[in-house]
Amino acid sequence: MSHVLDIQGLTKTFGGLTATDNVSLTVNSGEIHALIGPNGAGKSTLINQICGEILPNAGRITLGGRDITALAPADRVALGLGRTFQITSLLDDMTVRANLGMAVQARAGGNFRIFDRAASRAAVWDEVDQSLSGSALAVRADVPVADLAHGEKKQLELLMALSQRPRLLLLDEPMAGLGHVESQQMIDALRAARKDCAILLVEHDMEAVFALADRITVLVYGRVIAAGSAEDIRANPDVREAYLGEEDA
């Protein structure tokens, strides 16, 4: 199994604070790898280094075998890095289908005159309809985004991210603010998404993490204190003490 993402010895300091302390982890093809840890553990700093928004003081990041440690964010996207955020950025006045169409067209390049349904745009709309057909949003395609529930907006953001055809997708707390039914729908969507790309998942919802992750890396005070399968992490006493809580023992 090949590494889509390979991080070795990544270190980032801010003055006297070491936010990322010699972190190493890999994400394999077709894998969902969860990154967990308490607030202030350094997860966001690590993700921002992967995206190129922060440059490390030491260490190396490779994506698909290409060294991206010093590349600009846009160059990383061009090499197949995708990302979603805790707060969705959607066009509320447009329909679900139109939002997804804009995302597909953005990947394809060119202008955004896709709403005339001209024959030259047929491939865009075919891709949009194919993407929607397998999702919980299929029956909501013509609904304005402003009328969607929070969980539906999260689902749309995921579809838009996947429309960019990333080789690695970074997911920043996709379960945040979701109810039980919405969380299960998102879990189902992420299980389906793994066939298209590898996923690095930052998440506090441990039920979702244990349901989804092939491997889990635990970050505390910028250091990796444990890495392994869900069973390994559940059984690790250092993880229980630092993050999961003794009630999970």
Reported as a single tens digit per residue, the pLDDT across 109-148 is 655 555 555 555 788 889 999 999 988 899 999 999 999 9
Residue 72 and residue 228: Cα distance in Å, rounded?
Answer: 31
> Rg of the Cα trace of the chain?
19
Looking at the DSSP assignment, which residues form a beta bridge with residue 226?
218
Per-residue pLDDT of the chain (249 residues; tens, 9 = 90+): 579 999 999 999 999 999 999 999 999 999 999 999 998 899 999 999 999 999 999 999 999 999 999 999 999 999 999 988 655 578 999 999 999 998 888 887 655 555 555 555 788 889 999 999 988 899 999 999 999 999 999 999 999 999 999 999 999 899 999 999 999 999 999 999 999 999 999 999 999 999 999 999 999 999 999 999 999 999 999 888 877 654 433
Burial of 55 (0-12, 13-18, 19+ CB in 10 A): exposed
Residue 90 placed within a domain? no
| Residue 194 in domain | yes
Is 18 among the domain residues?
Answer: yes
Under 8 Å between Cβ of 232 and 226: yes
Task: Please state whether beta strands 215-220 and 32-36 pair in parallel, antiparallel, or not at all (unpaired).
Answer: parallel
Residue 8 has which token pair?
């070795």
Interval 186-212: pLDDT, tens: 999 999 999 999 999 999 999 999 999
Phi-psi category of residue 198: left, alpha or beta, with phi > 0 → left and psi -120 to 50 → alpha:
beta
Q: Which domain does 220 fall in, by range?
A: 3-80+165-248
93 inside domain = no
- Which of 12, 35, 47, 39 lies closest to 242, judged by CA? 39
CATH code of residue 36: 3.40.50.300
Q: How many domains does the chain have?
A: 1
| In a domain? residue 99 | no
Taking a C-beta distance cutoff of 8 angstroms, is the pair 24, 10 a contact?
A: yes
Q: Where are the beta strands (DSSP E) in 114-188?
A: 168-172
Confirm whether 206 is domain-assigned.
yes
Q: Please check whether residue 141 lies inside any domain of the structure.
A: no
Q: Does a structural domain hold residue 7? A: yes
